[in-house]
Amino acid sequence: MKKIKFFLLGTIITGFISCKNSAKTYTDITEATGNGVLYFGGDILTMEGTSPKYAEAVWVKDHTLAYVGTLSEAKKLAKGAQEVDLKGKTLMPSFIDPHSHYINSLSLANQVNVFPAPIGPGKDVPSILQTMQKYRDDKKIPKGVIIQAYGYDDTVMPNGRLLNRDDLDQAFPDNPIIVGHISMHGAVLNSLALKQFNITSDTKTPPGGVIVRKPGTQEPYGLIMETAYLPIFANLPKPTPSEEIEWSKQGQKLYAEAGITTAHDGATRIDDIDVMERVAKANANMIDIIAYPFITDLDAILAKYPKEGWGKYNNRLKIGGVKITIDGSPQGKTASFTTPYLTGGPGGEKDWKGELTFPEPMIHQMVKRVYAMNVPLNLHANGDNAIDAFLRAHEDAAAGDLSKDRHVTVMHSQFIRKDQLEKYAKYKLTPSFYSLHTFYFADAHIKNRGMAQASYISPMKDAFALGLKPTNHTDFVVLPLDQMMVLWSAVNRISRSGVEVGPDQRVSPYQGLQAMTIYPAIQYMEQDSKGSLEKGKLADLVILDQNPLKVEPLKIKDIKVLQTLKEGKVIYCKDCTTKS
């Protein structure tokens, strides 16, 4: 599995790509100009229908797919087009991101990766501290300047030895430190950071929040989560106006590298939309971005960005709907369940079931408001109690017509019960699953929730059987943008330690690809222009070195993205060199 890599876009947008081979292969063409480009000579997977279909050729012209079908007919229609031999590689629709946190990608190049293996060096507390100290020294960060890290996974720390305030104080006496929890629902702060955000022993833990206290005292011990973390998250450092475009290019390159041409931003704040809007006005976006304002910022966002302008792209940016979060993360032990965690709460709480982010009556009012706006709703719910709470809110808000398609996507839906999944089908609710948990966090889920409940996380096979069109996401930056690993986890469902996690919920590679292409297009109501290879759709394409439908399932994660095209223009090429 690859580590997250950061590359400056440099001249990949404005320059041209010169390639090593003289013959016209996929590396020779950067954009479909003139009479376009004709692709052939490989597996061209169209993603149309419920079973795999292939075309012999695809003709790309004027940003769209001008023809998809036989090579002989394509050559008749595409006279004068540049011809590209795929040399046995696989071409298919590019991936559509059902859920991530795009805005956070802008700052990753200026943060420290402390993920555990296989995607980072953070195997224990000493390695996290050493990695961050090296970053401070290499970057020559002055005293008083905040240092941020991401990917701290307390579920894999050896012997239960967790990172705390005192560790950070000793290693970093002169800098505020924020080490982001892998759930992205919290962080560990040192004393200088706690002081900066005004969190003291007198700070009361808000409803739906977690402030872990030093044993035997009321002093905050570093870990802050959920509603207690929201004010910190909202005030993390943002790029300056002079940095916004370059940081945005760096972030979008990460998506392009993964074969993604449409990115999602869940829980968008007013300041974040302002950044996205300025970058869009500068015409600097290389991929499409769909923002979902967080419910707590909705009034401020509507005042500046009226609903009438939502739902349509402006320089590759659109506001897609509203996001409501109603519980936390299962790996952070803040997801809300109907039964207690077997290992207690994040601060050692007994009989801990997690908590809803907002009181249930407030959730009902939030859902009613979004339904009345008649815009799509993204709803975050992980634990079965959170899912119950939303279903009750839906039944309240939609009492007149429970089965009307309101374009509701329930993000994660990880620990959904079978009876709840059946209600999704009845009420036309789309689950966006998170099958990566079957690898990265399943061992912790088995410990915290038991094997039976852990085995039913992200039950994609049952969702397909009920006629649902589930999507599957990374929740980036919680986990890396690695679409082949997303597919691998849905097809294999094997944990870090090699445990099979609900093998009865494995899906076929084709079903897994549907959850990453055509079904996210349906989730965004963009199926007329994206998600499959059909005449008239946008030429959003990805070229892979192998066909995911033809390799051994356990080798899917090793497939490489060779090239990504947005509307016929190459925005990432693995085997090409850039030149000014």
5 pLDDT tier (thresholds 50, 70, 90): very low
13 pLDDT tier (thresholds 50, 70, 90): very low
pLDDT attached to residue 10: 38
* Environment class of 301 (CB within 10 Å of its CB; exposed 0-12, middle 13-18, buried 19+): buried
As a whole number of angstroms, the distance between CA 336 and CA 223 comes to: 19
Indicate whether 212 pLDDT > 70: yes
Average pLDDT over residues 470-481: 94
Average pLDDT over residues 93-100: 98
Q: Pick from 434, 438, 446: which is nearest to 410 by CA?
A: 434
Token pair in block for residue 31: 């954009």
pLDDT tens per residue, range 148-185: 999 999 988 999 899 999 999 999 999 999 999 988 88
Q: Pick from 262, 372, 264: which is nearest to 323 by CA?
A: 264
Amino acid identity for residue 210 in this structure:
V
Indicate whether 238 pLDDT > 90: no
CA torsion 102→355→343→438, rounded to 10°? -30
As a whole number of angstroms, the distance between CA 484 and CA 495 comes to: 16
Indicate whether 403 pLDDT > 80: yes
pLDDT tens per residue, range 548-569: 999 999 999 999 999 999 999 9
Indicate whether 82 pLDDT > 60: yes
Token pair in block for residue 380: 């975050």
pLDDT attached to residue 241: 83
Question: Considering the chain, what is the average pLDDT of its residues?
Answer: 93
Indicate whether 8 pLDDT > 70: no
Average pLDDT over residues 91-114: 93
Task: Give the count of alpha carbons within 13 A of 280, CB side only.
Answer: 18
- Long-range contacts formed by 157-161: CB under 8 A, 24+ apart: 157/124, 157/125, 158/123, 158/124, 161/124, 161/125
As a whole number of angstroms, the distance between CA 159 and CA 140 comes to: 33
391 pLDDT tier (thresholds 50, 70, 90): very high
Q: Do 244 and 82 form a contact (C-beta atoms < 8 A)? A: no
pLDDT attached to residue 577: 64
Rg over alpha carbons for the chain, rounded to the nearest Å, is 23
As a whole number of angstroms, the distance between CA 227 and CA 336 comes to: 14
pLDDT above 70 coverage of the chain, percent: 95
Q: Do 85 and 22 form a contact (C-beta atoms < 8 A)? A: no
pLDDT tens per residue, range 110-124: 899 999 988 899 999
Instruction: Tell me which DSSP letter residue 488 carries.
Output: H
- Beta strands at 317-319 and 288-293: parallel, antiparallel or unpaired: parallel
Burial string for 228-246 (b: 16+ CB within 10 Å, else e) reads bbbebbeeeebbeeeebbb
Looking at the chain, how many residues does it have?
Answer: 580
